[in-house]
Amino acid sequence: MCYDNAMNDLFYTGKVAVVTGAGGTLCSAIAIDLAAKGAKVVLIGRTREKLEKTAAAIRGAGDVCRLEPGDVTDEGAMQSISDRVADEWGPCRFLINGAGGNNIAAMTTRLRYSDADLLPSSDPASDRGFWDVDMSAFKSVLETNTLGTVIPSRVFVRQMAKAGGGAVLNFASMNTYRPLTRVAPYAMSKAAIANWTMFFAQYMAPAKVRVNAIAPGFMVNERSRHYLMTPDGGFSARGEQVIRHTPAGRFGEARELLGCVDWLLNDEKSGFVTGITVPVDGGFLVSAGV
């Protein structure tokens, strides 16, 4: 897999880039692009099989990466990875906090409250009001999407501070700006990412570490495909709603994040930019739908 803008860039050459969630659709594209630009890329994720696919694409192009499976909410595991990388490759220069996700058990199937919420659902697997949601799943989504960004930042940004600087890129969402129906914990966690980005940006500025976030619009990946699209490749009812509210009239593609990612990571292009969240959304946020 390669992209037209994935060419060697001396700014990245030989520097260490850590990408969490590197087995996913969006972050695998970012990892491949950074490797093509000359970075030494550390691929972190819970599933080795997914990381191996990303690694195969990078190594197949003659670029450099290493697999480091691990849970981003486990600080001990992240510290072990950090120590190995620093010993063998040197300090982290770029951190992409892409790990995250949702859990269907934490989502309601009902869009709004009704009198049915006063009684337990007879079939919570397919009919869930707010009071039927599995709270352990709710907490898991919050932990993965918030602490799964904070913990890698605690571990890898310390290396940046000691080495004299770096850049962090967090992953926000359309839910950062508007809580979409059914996905309360995911929306809460992504709103928190924008706030964390602002906090950490001002905190780390004296160490010459810039912290920004990107907010992808609706892009079809493994997680979203089942509720945005039908098995035959058409749009689900929810997918049709998204398209109606997206002026570009389509879902985005992973490669369309790469220019913004490059801009936010590259000190030569955005050295005076820190603490912001940039939407890449086909106009979704500016559309009132009327």
- Cβ atoms of 45 and 144 within 8 Å: the answer is no
How many Å apart are CA 235 and CA 60, to the nearest integer?
A: 34
Nearest C-alpha neighbor of 170 from the set 19, 29, 45, 272: 19
Task: Determine which one of 113, 177, 186, 227 is catalytic.
Answer: 186
Residue 281 tokens read as 């959304």
- Cβ atoms of 94 and 17 within 8 Å: the answer is yes
∠157-257-201 over CA atoms, to 5°?
30
* 186 tagged catalytic: yes
How many Å apart are CA 140 and CA 106, to the nearest integer?
A: 9
Q: Decide the pairing of beta strands 16-20 and 40-45.
A: parallel
Which burial class, exposed, middle or buried, applies to 77 when counting CB atoms under 10 A from its CB (0-12, 13-18, 19+)? Answer: middle
Q: Centre a 10 Å sphere on the Cβ of residue 114 and count the other Cβ atoms it contains.
A: 9
How many Å apart are CA 93 and CA 159, to the nearest integer?
A: 8
Catalytic residues: 186
